[in-house]
Structure 1
């Protein structure tokens, strides 16, 4: 064997075999890439990412729109249910009022004999018969006793009073203005004026909130303002009940009248001062307004010396409707602004 054949055999051993499984259509991976190719690949990745984000935004907006529609439908269903309940309550009240004069003498057989005696001791049988005849009712029903006759007369009088109150025409804005002389002399008139004025303030407050833009209504501040109005309206239900029954506490009655007189005159700072004296006492209130010169113990002693009561802390119901009166004052100074800027509350 010559040298050439030996070298050829050795060279063939050193050579690597060609890959047989590799497809000829597959391009070989590039070891180096052009800058334009890198930029094109980056642009493709960026566009795919933007498409994915846009799809997620559309899906999120669609979900939000569906949730808002569901929430709106729930609110409408709740309002419709509340209107239906109010209508049923009003209808039941009318039926009860109509039944008051139609009930027989044995409608309340379960009453004790002592209760019957107490109800009839203040009125004689002749007086009861005379009042029943004056109202166009029978003087005596079959097997009716004197206490039952008195109870029937009281039910008729109560039904007549409710009918007269409902038939009373609403007050105009001029008739709502309180006169300081009527506060103690004509309480029935003042109670009607108080109820009408606070009802006017609440209705104006609700109209003002409804007239806002949709964006402001859906904002956090807009929802908080609407919740504050609804809460104040709920808290003032016991106050309107006191107005209707004419049984508001004397101290609270006079102070509420003073607040309304000052608010109607657009002197809101004075009205706020009356509210503070009513809510946390006549002697102790400057402590809550960061004033100096009054010690806590001294203020407490002065408060109890005069027999004054901090009504806002006496019970939860009173505290809530007094707080709602303060919110009504805050709305009034924006709805009916004062002529003097110094009368704006802080």
Structure 2
């Protein structure tokens, strides 16, 4: 076969392929692919995925908003139901109270005015008298939305006699603060004033001692703890000062506190601590595992096991706190006014 025949056969083969491609319109697959085409295809795939994710997030957010709206509507409905029940309960309670007051008044032969009678307009004379009483008390004659019965009730509240509070005892000197044993039972009013003045003096001296410390000492951890102990003791002793003012300290606590103060004034701090322990622990010594250390009297140890003697400090949180504050005052007193006998120093 010569070259001319080979060339003719190749031309015929190429011609047949071109005719077949023209009839089918199918592009011939590329042998090589551009990098830009790969990057473009990857970018289109990424954008399609991001669009799907955005659509999914938007759908989740929409469902969440719908759920929150449903929950809010349910809460509002529950709130309205609760308010409605409260209002119904209040109306029933007011109705029962009105019926009870009417029954009591009927039993006593008193006829109570109805709500319409209470709220009907006053006569000109009654109105003048009511306005004069309000002006005398330097109060507004009428308040917006106030009915006649409400005005009368407000006037009754203003004219009601208020209990006169007992004045706090005047300041005492150090000599006048010394408590005598006989005054504890014979002149309790004087002793209450002495107790209030002595504890107030101790807290004042305690505050001065803390303020006189150097700045570097006050900033230390120990210095901050000392200040916190003072502030806590001062706060917890406020109920005790109210008892002093009202003169209503518990009968079992009052004589013990007097003993503690008298021993502290004599600078017998160990004995004062013994009285504090007998007052604060009581029958609670064995159940909580407190030892007998610090209670030196045999009779005191025996009294711990007597029946019918409850510990005040374990039954009342307020009493426990101000008794603990009294103990802290004793600890300060032995540093501010040290005893002549070193054995009287508490551990």
Q: What TM-score results when the alignment is normalised by the length of structure 2?
A: 0.50
Structure exhibiting the larger radius of gyration computed from Cα positions: 2
TM-score by length of 1: 0.50
